[in-house]
Amino acid sequence: MRSVVVRRLLSLDETGTLQTVHVRIAAETTGVHLRTVWRWLADAKESGRAEPVPRRGVFALDDVLWARLGELGGNVKALYRWMGEHADEVLAGLGRDRLPSLTTLHDAVHRAQRAGRVLEISRPSYARLDPQGYDRALAELALPGTIDEAGQAAVEPAVQDDTDSSDTPGTSPFNDSGVRLYVPGAHAVPTRQLGKVTEALAHTIAAHGAVCVYGDPGHGKTVAVHQALRLLPRRVPVHRALVAVKPALPQLRAALLTAFGLPATSLTNRTDAADRALLKAFQAPGVLVIDDVQRIAAPELDYLRLLLDAPTTQASLVLCGAGAERTLARAPALASRVLTWQHMPRLDPVQIPGVLRLFHPLWDTATDADLLHTDKTHAKGNFRTWAKITSHAYAALDRHPGHTVDAALLTRACARLGPRP
């Protein structure tokens, strides 16, 4: 990433359009200090090359080894073992006569990260899976007790009794991930759309950046964010800020203080003390999640930008909400600091029959034609709408056990959705 950033800055410098704001954005994107990017630019002008000039005699990882380290989840010891197993190939690529020690390898990784090289970890360090097994691991690790889109067996919770808690009066309508399922016996299904969001968040959090997950209501943005966060290593703390509708700055500050476990009541009206406390909280690596970010007005969003701009900030920011991209467009200073924009699309028609049958067993007897027609005329790929249809169909079958899931039942269920489902 250093070479890409430096080349772009050099091209702007040659045309005379380079400004401090360009360097600041580059620093936020690469996760380094502003002065570091200026030093990169000065070194590139002096040496005539965008890539860093390695010190002679000092071991450095090439692109192949760096990519392999990312595939191994950032585990340097695992890379060391892999290098020993492929010694001839590695030595030929490095042009060396012997492999480095484990300590030398650790030092080389630390030097590269301090120089601004971002380690792109595509999956958690404790989940070393091949690509074919990644989706299955996503379901097993993120949502215990669910099944994946491929239809493989579910992973049962660690503690389970004989009572179906979903049918018990007074039970929470949400599952373990905070997802409202509307109907007993339903499962949260990790679709491929959720997998894409998970990969985007994993990369952005590894780069200590900001990510915006946006899309229409009911497409599963919050589900995807919760699932991705549950895949993070346990040493990465996650803080969730609950914001009100159009919060004033003191209210937003109080929500952030509460998210970090700080005394919001005593600090809310003490601006300087609250700001110092939040800046200190942002110094520790972690993740701050703000759902329904469309509730926040532009001036208050700029306060988030000030926290992100602090040189000591190490925390990542996850912004999520329907219309979040339009909200951030009204705060261009913060929008320019978003590293990853991830759209959450609606379900494709080809997914509908398989996903619904995994979502609830009552759809096992429904025909694909009836499901596709209902999706085309009412649900339109919206998972939340399908959850409501499932609830109404479930209630109708409970009242009339002899009925079957056919076009007539689906029509009656959809009639309860309202004029504009």
User: What are the sequence ranges of the domains in the chain?
Assistant: 1-53, 61-121, 192-343, 349-417
CA distance 133 to 138: 9
- Cβ atoms of 212 and 319 within 8 Å: the answer is yes
Confidence at 366, pLDDT banded by 50, 70, 90: confident
Q: How far apart are the first and last CA of the chain?
A: 45
Rounded mean pLDDT, 105-124: 68
Q: What distance separates the 2 farthest-apart alpha carbons in the chain? A: 82
Candidate from 21-30, 150-159, 230-239 with smallest mean pLDDT: 150-159
CATH of domain 192-343: 3.40.50.300
Can you give the pLDDT at residue 234?
Answer: 63
- Can you tell me the mean pLDDT for 357-372? 86
Q: Which helix (H) or strand (E) holds 214?
A: strand 210-214
Residue 288 has pLDDT above 90, yes or no: yes
- The 10s digit of each residue's pLDDT in 61-99 is 888 888 888 778 788 888 898 888 888 888 887 777 788
- DSSP conformational letter for 177: T
Of 4-8, 32-36, 86-90, 314-318, highest mean pLDDT: 314-318
At 316 the three-state DSSP class reads: strand
Mean pLDDT score across all residues of the chain = 77
Share of the chain above pLDDT 90, in %: 7
- Residue 9 above 80 pLDDT? yes
CA distance 270 to 249: 12
Q: d(Cα 112, Cα 55) in Å, to the nearest integer? A: 12
